[in-house]
Amino acid sequence: MRGAKLLGYSGSINERETPQSMIDGNTKTKWCEVNAALNYADFDLGEGKSVSGWKMYNAGNEDQAFITSSCFLQGRNSLNEEWTTLDYVDGNEADIMLRTFKPATVRYIRLLVTRPTQNIGMKVLRINEMELY
């Protein structure tokens, strides 16, 4: 996703830890947010691209609790379209999550995080990197 443009997001703890950090190719930087009930980040890939998998690097190296448990990867081809779910993850415990899904061509990608940690009720989102395949 390097080169993708960040279009919008639910929030971040500071100016250095925005979702742009998830697509900078550096697993030592991260997106961090602590206030939102639902966290999302929207990206423009610049043109329609065929995708069939993704990889997410969580912040389990800081604490196992910071591993994202539940999220959606969504896509669409126009800003006027509804989001289509490409993949849904529930109960993830892997620090580095590698997923595949039915191939789709999309221009816009949304990561929608519904449970950012291993602990129910904890709202600390920490994601180091995200890649599309």
Kindly report, residue by residue over 18-34, the tens digit of the pLDDT.
999 999 999 999 999 99
120 confidence band (pLDDT: 50, 70, 90): confident
Cα separation, 103 vs 99, in Å, equals 12
Over residues 37-68, the pLDDT tens digits come to 799 999 999 999 999 999 999 999 999 999 99
Q: Is residue 1 over pLDDT 90?
A: no
Burial (0-12, 13-18, 19+ Cβ within 10 Å), 121: exposed
Question: What's the distance, Cα to Cα, between the start and end of the chain in Å?
Answer: 9
CATH for 5-132, among 3.40.50.2300, 2.60.120.260, 3.20.20.70, 3.40.630.10? 2.60.120.260
Q: Is residue 121 over pLDDT 90?
A: no
Q: How far is CA 52 from CA 13, 98, 113, 116, in A?
A: 31, 11, 19, 23
Residue 69 token pair: 């448990």
Q: Where are the domains of the chain?
A: 5-132
